[in-house]
Amino acid sequence: MKELVKRLKQANVGTVLENEYMSKHTTLKIGGPADILIEPSSIEGIRKTIEIVMDNNVPWRAIGRGSNLLVSDDGIEGAVIKLGTGLDHLEEEEDEILVGGGYPIIKLSTIMSRKGMSGLEFASGIPGSVGGAVYMNAGAHGSDIAAILTKAHILFEDGTMRWLSKEELDFSYRTSILQRKPGICLEAVLQLDHGDREKIVNLMQKNKDYRKLTQPWNHPCCGSVFRNPLPNHAGQLIESARLKGRTIGGAQISDMHANFIVNVGDAKAKDVLDLIELVKMTIRQEHNVEMETEVELIGRS
């Protein structure tokens, strides 16, 4: 790893940190140390990072703002590439925008709504980045990123960069091709609509207020833990199984919304995993339904 760190720093790819605790970089505030964490300062910095990491046969993964992630207490082997400053550019041309993969999607939705641009209202409470939203086809309030995306600029681990269309990204419920073919969303082009600024801002506020009333953002959390096993809803199944408020260690199934697990006091990843397994077992026994996690479990097992 020392040689890899030396090469990354010599290449001036951006910030390079060793043994960096992922609890500093996840919305759950949980996670052991990554061997190396790199925050590239540009698209070229990411390209160089992938080239050097692959040349050293080191495993890697990309993250954005750390939502939708549960990182092992034992940390992450290899390199973590964090998209943030340097990948947070924004360009506007009429009703189309080009936005960097590290751009916060809440900030983007707020800016666009104030300009009277419609299409991102659903994202007003999603605490992730544009790249992460593309990776998992993030959505809420009946819409998702696939509904407004026209193409995305993807860096693959062989060093090639390609613009993929919406069709090529193969979006479905909370998934994209990037979950099957490793790549990093560098940029996205979104198609928005001109609308009534007051109506758009009011809808944004309504969505924000709804989240505040129904979701536990007063504690560190990762967003929805389970995918909805349609036609059922995960939160309703968990609540019907009387698991709302159940606590293991410092982790709790939220007493506000049962599909959220919150960190109520120095929770460990194991505490969260134990709650996840409790939910899976209970719902299987009581409803004969297999629960599938929406949160991504990463790191050393």
Active site residues: 174, 224, 294
- What does 59-121 look like in DSSP terms, one character per residue? -EEEESSSTTEEE-TT-EEEEEEE--TTS--EEEETTEEEEETTSBHHHHHHHHHHTTEES-G
C-alpha torsion sign, points 50, 54, 58, 63: positive
CA atoms within 13 A on the CB side of 136: 23
User: Residue 182: what are its φ and ψ, rounded to 5°?
Assistant: -55, 125
Beta-ladder partners of 298: 71
In whole angstroms, give the CA distance from residue 296 to residue 127: 15
